Each structure stands twice: as structure tokens, then as C-alpha cells.
């Protein structure tokens, strides 16, 4: 039964979002070659493999998708609960959440069809959708720890990873054009872009409630880019050094922000405990 304050269509919206979300996740798994068929590294001419371009991370980086898939599945179940269906947060973001998974699945389908140019267009749309998602979630005060983990952590890490995936996708498309002048400029441009992205995410870590999660998602990708360029089949000193510098700065910012948040949380717990004891 719907609660009195819950919009009449909130149950339908939550159920529809869950069905579309899980259907899109299944599409993602099938299009990504999780069970059969070609993986991303084996399609699109190999440009998205770990040795395809200087922006590609080492193969272990892609293990992040399994916890992300679990987190996304967890979100669609979480927003489906009767206590969450009419919540303002989920009413605002569930459509964007479904859109992000649909675009992810469409991106994988473009890769399976060897359409790198179209895949980049879809990837940029995905970045725009996730940017909107992060902005909407950041404006809400989340009182429950479960919401912070299921919602903020999932979409923050997802966004951080996709930001770096967009850089890799762009590098793959430019490389596929096989222009000599582009090839000469691509490695230094990639190195600069990774460094600038790292600096921007460092600032976001302190300025946005979801900054630590965005940092974590991007940091994972940048660390594995550095590993691939230091020791992989396509070495690049400039990209490796810039990625290592960016990763170090991001790790420092992440640790500092976490220490500050944990300290604030402990102080709040002590304040509440003293208030309870005094009463």
C-alpha cells in the first residue's frame, strides 16, 4: 500500500525503472562479451585494448565493472523498496540512472559493430547524463548511510571511471584515423589531458559531497594507465609520468578528504553521545 505522502505513480515509476535497469544491465553483459562473443578488447580493431593507445589502462583495470554492476543492480533494488519509492532523491534521479545504463549498453553495442566514432558520441552523452546525476545527488542531504553507499558511492565511482574511459575512447578514435600528424601529437596530448583531469578531480574531491567517490573511480583508471605505460606493450614515458603524478596527487587529496570526513563523523558521534548522557 502506498503511503499517504507518496505520489500515486511512484510505485509504477520505481517498478518501471527496475525493469528497464535490469534489462539494460543484461544487455551490457551480453554486449560486453561477459558470457560469450567478443570482449571489448577484441573488437573495434583492437583500439580499446590495453595496448591500443597511450590512454588505455592495463587489463586488470576493467575488473571494476563487476562491483559497479553489483552497485547499479543494488541501486535499482534500493529505489524499488516501498520506503524509497516516493523519496524526492529517487524521483529525481531514477530516470537518469536508467538512461546511464541504456547508454552504457548502447556504447558496447557500437563497439561490437566496430563503430568507434559513434561509440565516442554515445560516450560523451553518457558523461553528460552522469554529470547531471552527480549534480542532482550532490544537492540532496542523504540521512541514511545505506543511501550514501548505494547511491553516492555507486554513481560517483561510475562517473569517475567513465570520465577516464571517455579520454581512452577519444584516443582510440583519433588513433583509428591513422593520421601521421595526429599520431605524433596524441601521446603528449594524452599525457596533458590525464594530468589536467587529475588536477580537476583533486579540486572536486573537496568541493563536492561525491568528490571522494569520483576520485576513487578515476584514480583506479589512472593508476592502471600508468602501469600500462610503464611496463605494457605500448610504453610512453610522458604518459606514464603524468599519470603517476596525477595519481599521486589524487591519492593525497582522497586520503586528506577521508581523514577530514572521518574526523567530523567522530566529533558528531561524540557530541550526540554527550547530549544523550546529559539528558
**Angle of CA points 48, 70, 207, to nearest 5°:** 80
Res 2 pLDDT > 60? no
**R_g over Cα of the chain:** 20
Whose CA is closest to 69, among 138, 157, 191?
157
Q: What pLDDT score was predicted for residue 5? A: 46
Res 160 pLDDT > 60? yes
Q: What pLDDT score was predicted for residue 265? A: 66
Q: What pLDDT score was predicted for residue 4? A: 41
- What proportion of the chain, given as a percentage, has pLDDT over 90? 71
What's the rounded mean pLDDT across residues 225-251?
Answer: 96
| Residue boundaries of the structural domains of the chain | 10-278
Q: What pLDDT score was predicted for residue 145? A: 74
Res 250 pLDDT > 80? yes
CB 130 within 8 A of CB 138: no
CB 124 within 8 A of CB 167: no
**Better-scored residue on pLDDT, 10 or 66:** 66
Q: What pLDDT score was predicted for residue 141? A: 72
* Lowest-confidence pick of 138-147, 213-222, 225-234: 138-147
CA atoms within 13 A on the CB side of 53: 30
What's the rounded mean pLDDT across residues 139-164?
Answer: 88
**Better-scored residue on pLDDT, 131 or 29:** 131
pLDDT band at 100 (very low <50, low <70, confident <90, very high): very high
| Residues in contact with 153: Cβ distance below 8 Å, sequence separation at least 6, in sequence order | 71, 213
Q: What pLDDT score was predicted for residue 143? A: 64
Res 45 pLDDT > 60? yes
Q: What pLDDT score was predicted for residue 192? A: 97
**Better-scored residue on pLDDT, 15 or 265:** 15
Res 198 pLDDT > 60? yes
**Better-scored residue on pLDDT, 34 or 156:** 156
Mean model confidence pLDDT for the chain? 90
CA distances from 198 to 99, 191, 230, 248 (A): 26, 11, 18, 9
Angle, in degrees to the nearest 10, between helices 10-31 and 65-78: 160
Q: What pLDDT score was predicted for residue 276? A: 63
**pTM score, two decimals?**
0.91
Res 1 pLDDT > 80? no
Amino acid at each position: 500500500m502506498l503511503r499517504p505522502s507518496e505520489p500515486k505513480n511512484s510505485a509504477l515509476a520505481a517498478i518501471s525503472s527496475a525493469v528497464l535497469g535490469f534489462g539494460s544491465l543484461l544487455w551490457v553483459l551480453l554486449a560486453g562479451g561477459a558470457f560469450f562473443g567478443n570482449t571489448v578488447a577484441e573488437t573495434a580493431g583492437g583500439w580499446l585494448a590495453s595496448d591500443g593507445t597511450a590512454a588505455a589502462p592495463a587489463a586488470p583495470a576493467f575488473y571494476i565493472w563487476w562491483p559497479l554492476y553489483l552497485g547499479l543492480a543494488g541501486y535499482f533494488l534500493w529505489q524499488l523498496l516501498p520506503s524509497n519509492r516516493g523519496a524526492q532523491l529517487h524521483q529525481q534521479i531514477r530516470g537518469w540512472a536508467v538512461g546511464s545504463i541504456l547508454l552504457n549498453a548502447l556504447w558496447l553495442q557500437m563497439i561490437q559493430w566496430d563503430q568507434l566514432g559513434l561509440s565516442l558520441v554515445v560516450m560523451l552523452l553518457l558523461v553528460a547524463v552522469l554529470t547531471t546525476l552527480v549534480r542532482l545527488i550532490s544537492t540532496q542531504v542523504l540521512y541514511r548511510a545505506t543511501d550514501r553507499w548505494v547511491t553516492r558511492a555507486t554513481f560517483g565511482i561510475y562517473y569517475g571511471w567513465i570520465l577516464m574511459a571517455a579520454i581512452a575512447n577519444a584516443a582510440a578514435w583519433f588513433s583509428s584515423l591513422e593520421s601521421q600528424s595526429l599520431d605524433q601529437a596524441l601521446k603528449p596530448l594524452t599525457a596533458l589531458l590525464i594530468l589536467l583531469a587529475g588536477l580537476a578531480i583533486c579540486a572536486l574531491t573537496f568541493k563536492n559531497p561525491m568528490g571522494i567517490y569520483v576520485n576513487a573511480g578515476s584514480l583506479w583508471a589512472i593508476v592502471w594507465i600508468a602501469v600500462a605505460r610503464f611496463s605494457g606493450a605500448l610504453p610512453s614515458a610522458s604518459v606514464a609520468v603524468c599519470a603517476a603524478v596525477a595519481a599521486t596527487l589524487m591519492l593525497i587529496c582522497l586520503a586528506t578528504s577521508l581523514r577530514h570526513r572521518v574526523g567530523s563523523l567522530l566529533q558528531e558521534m561524540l557530541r550526540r553521545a554527550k547530549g544523550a548522557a546529559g539528558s
